[in-house]
Amino acid sequence: MALIDYLVQGGQMLLVLMLAPLLTGWVRWVKARLLRRRGPSPLQPYRDLVKLSRKEVVLADSASWLFRVAPYLIFAALWVAASLVPTFAGGLPFSWTADLIAIVALLGTARFFLALAGLDVGTSFGGIGSSREMMIASLAEPAMLMMVFTLSLLAGTTELSAVARFMLTADVGLRVSLALALLALVIVAIAENARIPVDNPATHLELTMVHEAMVLEYSGRHLALIELSSSLKLVLYLSLVACIFAPWGMASAGAGSAAYGYAAVIYVAKLALGGVLLALFESSIAKMRVFRVDQFLGAALMLGLLGALLLFVSRSL
């Protein structure tokens, strides 16, 4: 392994971290424009983060050490997960550390601690958020794993770099199962990132909120970390979609620095496009009742299962 590979690995980790607030700001900006508002600059989330991290933390009297540790744990889990998704370069030195299943499980670790943090202070809002988050996750995670199942049937691996490589070959063909997997992944991504129609990232005082209710008690640097983590999660899911379903332009390991730079530009363009699509989707749809969400996600689960079934058919002919 050349030194440059390690450098690119580190660069990828930093790139993800640096881009995360920008993507969130970008989506907000596009949404505002779609609603014919001017909207804050896409750089606003950076300013928010800096401002929040400088403020003192107001802790509830009943908060425990878990409440203070959780933001760091959540951030660490999500950052590790996000940096293990190949963004602009595949086959990097540490890409074998965790496969897609492990990445899904790392997201689970973050969610677990976030839900516990929601319960820690002992308020009704925190509880409502935690319990709904776990309900949503209980359907989203199997749907996600069904998607992994489909991919792994096709590509014969759960390593993301290898999947991306496979998707670039002509062996893939035109498959319903892939379309189904994409659909399932998108539904899961929307649910996991607390976007409309499952949750509304812009509300604070509404009984339908899920994610915001959990983090209601956080302030100061803790809140900054939580916000950064949710931005990271959005980047992670968009990178996942890009890496699996649109791996074009990704540099392979050992390519020259020019190739890496070119690939990075393409990656940023993919993220920007994903952000626009997300904003379009969010602006054109209404929020669901909480107890419609299970049908929405159940559909994703069934689509994933169906994808796996259909794949079995075409494989065994």
Partner 1 sequence: MHSLEFDIAHFLAGGMVVLSFLLLYQDRVYALLNVFALHSLVLALAVGWQAYIQEAHHLYVTAGIALVFKAIVIPMALRRIVRRLGIHRTLEVVGGVGRDMLAGAALVALAIMVMLPVTVGADALAREDLAFALAVLLLGLLLMVNRHNAISLVIGFMSLENGLVLAAAGARGMPLAVEISVAFSVLIALIVIGVFLFRIRERFDSVDMQAMDSFRESRLK
Partner 2 sequence: MLLTLLLVLLLVLLAAGGYGTVAPARPQGSRYLYSVSLAVCTVLLLLALAHLLSGREPLHLSLPLGLPWLGLHLRLDALSAFFLVVVNLGGAVASLFGLGYGAHEREPERVLPFYPAFLAGMNLVLLADDAFAFLFAWEFMSISSWALVMAHHREPANLRAGYLYLVMACFGTLALLLAFGLLAGVDGGYGFAAMRASQTPPALAALVLVLALLGAGSKAGLVPLHVWLPLAHPAAPSHVSALMSGVMTKVAVYGFIRIVFDLLGGESAVWWWGGLVLAAGGVTAVLGVLYALMQHDLKRLLAYHTVENIGIIFIGLGLALAFQANLMYFNAALALTAALFHVLNHSLFKSLLFLGAGAVLTATGERDMERLGGLIHRMPHTALAFLIGSAAISALPPLNGFVSEWMTFQAILNSPELPQWLLKFLVPAVGALLALSAALAAACFVKAFGITFLGRPRSPAAADAGETDRFSLSAMFVLAGLCLLAGVLPGLVVDGLGPVVGLLNGGARLTDQYHQPWLTLVPVGPLKSSYNGLLVMLFMAVSGVAAALLIHRFASSAVRRGPAWDCGFPDASPATQYTAGSFAQPIRRVFGSLVFQARERVTMPPPGDLRPARLEVELHDPVWERAYAPIAAAVIAVSTRANVLQYLTIRRYLSLVFGALVVLLLGMALWR
User: Contact region for partner 1 (CB under 8 A) — 155-163, 177-185, 190-198, 238-246?
Assistant: 177-185
Radius of gyration from C-alpha coordinates of the chain? 19
Q: How far apart are CA 96 and CA 154, in angstroms?
A: 19
User: Contact region for partner 2 (CB under 8 A) — 31-39, 76-84, 234-242, 278-286?
Assistant: 76-84
Q: How far apart are CA 13 and CA 82, in angstroms?
A: 8
Q: Is 175 in the site for partner 1 (CB under 8 A)?
A: yes
Q: Is 305 in the site for partner 1 (CB under 8 A)?
A: yes
Nearer to partner 1 (CB atom), residue 265 or residue 309 = 309
Nearer to partner 1 (CB atom), residue 124 or residue 316 = 316
Q: Is 138 in the site for partner 1 (CB under 8 A)?
A: no
Q: How far apart are CA 204 and CA 39, in angstroms?
A: 18
Tokens of 209: 């909120």
Q: Among positive and negative, which fits the CA dihedral 146, 150, 155, 156?
A: positive
Q: Is 306 in the site for partner 1 (CB under 8 A)?
A: yes
Q: Is 317 in the site for partner 1 (CB under 8 A)?
A: yes
Q: Is 285 in the site for partner 1 (CB under 8 A)?
A: no
Contact between 43 and 25 (Cβ < 8 Å): yes
Q: How far apart are CA 199 and CA 94, in angstroms?
A: 34
Out of 38, 65, 170, 317, the only residue in the binding site for partner 2 (CB under 8 A) is 65
Provide the β-strand partners of residue 251: 89
Q: Is 290 in the site for partner 2 (CB under 8 A)?
A: yes
Nearest partner of 256 among 100, 21, 26, 89, judged by Cα? 89
Out of 89, 180, 190, 254, the only residue in the binding site for partner 1 (CB under 8 A) is 180
Q: Is 176 in the site for partner 1 (CB under 8 A)?
A: yes
Nearest partner of 100 among 6, 242, 240, judged by Cα? 240
Out of 5, 48, 120, 199, the only residue in the binding site for partner 2 (CB under 8 A) is 120
Site of interaction with partner 1 (CB under 8 A) = 170-171, 173-177, 179-180, 294-295, 298-299, 302-303, 305-306, 309-310, 312-314, 316-317
